[in-house]
A and B are shown apart, each in its own frame.
Chain A
């Protein structure tokens, strides 16, 4: 299994500001994933982050709003830019084992409240 640490665990932010969420993994992984869970909703994939290349965004998510960095094989950041109350969600990073029978491991999440 992988140990994934996310920072911050929670934050309350003013609208119009930006927040950067950090994700640190205890082992090298090829792909890292960022998810969002809006209140009362399911988890939705935002983007896939590979080291050395631009992140791949899912439909409905754009780089200008959610810029992602992946400087090495154990670390990634997600920035939520120009926040509005609609961005209030739990943001989670995850990694997989890179094997066929994969199971994705998740960080504890960052609970963001935008006021």
Chain B
């Protein structure tokens, strides 16, 4: 039972353009969502998060959008840079158990110079 899904295994984008990574969830108890970036041989690095009381959160080049009715969130990276090439994981948690994260399968982002 995959409660958090990232349906695109990979995404290829030209440097300077926008990268859009998508994530869907099924558990209505989830009320906090996070995006992590992972390089090989490293642990996941926190990027940005959003609470269910918001529909948008922005931090520099990164913006996360949340559509609660559709149970969908997306991460926008503008402009994309070659250093952004990594695996991106969407994760979700519930108020009753913050810290316990349910992860999506990940999307491999490749940004070409």
Q: Which residues of A contact B (CB under 8 A)?
A: 4, 6, 9, 31, 33, 41-45, 48, 92, 94-96, 98, 100-109, 111
Kindly list chain A residues whose C-beta atoms are within 8 Å of the C-beta of B65.
Answer: none
- Which residues of chain B in 20-50 are interfacial with respect to chain A, using CB atoms and an 8 Å cutoff? 32, 34, 36, 41-46, 49
Residues of B within 8 Å of A95, CB to CB, are: 99
Residues of B whose CB lies within 8 Å of any CB of A are 32, 34, 36, 41-46, 49, 51, 89, 91, 93, 98-106
**Hey, which chain A residues are within 8 Å of B46, CB to CB?**
103-105
Which of B49, B89, B99, B104 has the largest number of chain A CB atoms within 10 A?
A: B99
Residues of B within 8 Å of A48, CB to CB, are 99-100
A4's closest neighbor in chain B, by CB? B43
A-B contact pairs, 28 of them (CB 8 A): A6-B43, A31-B99, A33-B99, A33-B100, A33-B101, A42-B103, A42-B104, A43-B44, A43-B101, A43-B103, A44-B103, A92-B43, A94-B101, A95-B99, A96-B99, A100-B98, A101-B32, A102-B98, A102-B99, A103-B34, A103-B49, A104-B91, A104-B99, A105-B46, A106-B45, A109-B41, A109-B43, A111-B41
How many Å lie between the Cα of A6 and that of B100 in the bound state? 19
Residue of A nearest to B44 (CB): A106
A45–B43 CB distance below 8 A: no
Which residues of A are found within 8 Å of B105, using beta-carbon distances?
Answer: 41-42
